[in-house]
Amino acid sequence: MLRVKEGDNEAFELLVELHQSAVIGTVAKMLGGASEAEDIAQQVFIRIWKSAKRYQPQAKFTTWMFTITRNLVFNETRRRKRKPTVSVEEREEESHQQVEDVHSTTPDQDVLHSELERAVDDAIQALPDKQRLAVVLRRYEEMPYDEIGRVLSMSVPAVKSLLFRARTQLKESLEKYLAE
């Protein structure tokens, strides 16, 4: 990032290549789908480029990057609450879901697995924004508590408490699946 700060385009391209999938994955998990994840990820990297001159390496670069991601995702969440819409791409994704080709399972197991995945995704989507982001960063990005705290502007104990509440809510939401 320090090379990007100096205007190095190749360093920026490398930075995007290294972190693009993590940002897209996080955004997709936060918003419940991939339809706008690439657009928001692109906005993240545009903000990184535009803010490069002001970048100060006080924390890890990824912490700063996920803070920008958090802000854009929360803005998008607020926008959606004000103006709920369904894009053509989302409708197509819903009607043409790809199914993983797994030969070692039976069709019944595949259906149960898909149902469980959908239930987990829905339960994560039902969490409040901060809890959802903390779960996504911890579970999918394997981020340590202190880094999550910096992204969310919270202390480590507050992050642990937030994650505890999120896990409790997820357990309650998925209780019928956990009992089986």
Per domain, the residue ranges of the chain are: 1-98, 102-180
**Ramachandran region of residue 95, left (φ > 0), alpha (ψ -120 to 50) or beta?**
alpha
**What is residue 95's predicted lDDT score, i.e. its pLDDT?**
44
Q: Is residue 167 within 8 Å of 173, Cβ to Cβ? A: no
Distances (CA, A) of 19 to 48, 51, 61, 69, 106: 12, 17, 10, 12, 36
Least-confidence region, from 17-31, 83-97, 99-113: 83-97
* Domain with residues 102-180, CATH architecture: Orthogonal Bundle (1.10)
Residue-wise pLDDT tens digits, 77-97: 888 777 655 554 544 444 444
CATH of domain 1-98: 1.10.1740.10
pTM, entire model: 0.66
**Looking at 13-116, which runs of residues are DSSP E strands?**
none
Q: How far is the C-alpha of 130 from the C-alpha of 122, rounded, in Å?
A: 16
Write down the pLDDT at residue 102.
47
What 3-state DSSP class applies to 179?
coil
Q: CA angle at residue 22 from 154 to 157, to 5 degrees?
A: 20
- pLDDT tens string 43-58: 999 999 999 988 888 8
Average pLDDT (20-35) is: 87
Q: What distance in Å separates the CA atoms of residue 113 and residue 119, rounded to the nearest whole number?
A: 10
Radius of gyration of the chain (CA): 18
pLDDT at 34 over 80: no
Cβ neighbours of 98 (radius 10 Å): 6
Question: Tokens 């903390």 appear where?
Answer: 134
Cα–Cα distance, 12 to 178 (Å, whole number): 44
Other Cβ atoms less than 10 A from the Cβ of 24: the count is: 19
Rounded to the nearest integer, the mean pLDDT of the chain is: 84
**Per-residue confidence (pLDDT) for residue 98, from 0 to 100:** 47
Domains 1-98 and 102-180 are alike in CATH topology: no
The span from the CA of 25 to the CA of 13, in Å, is 19
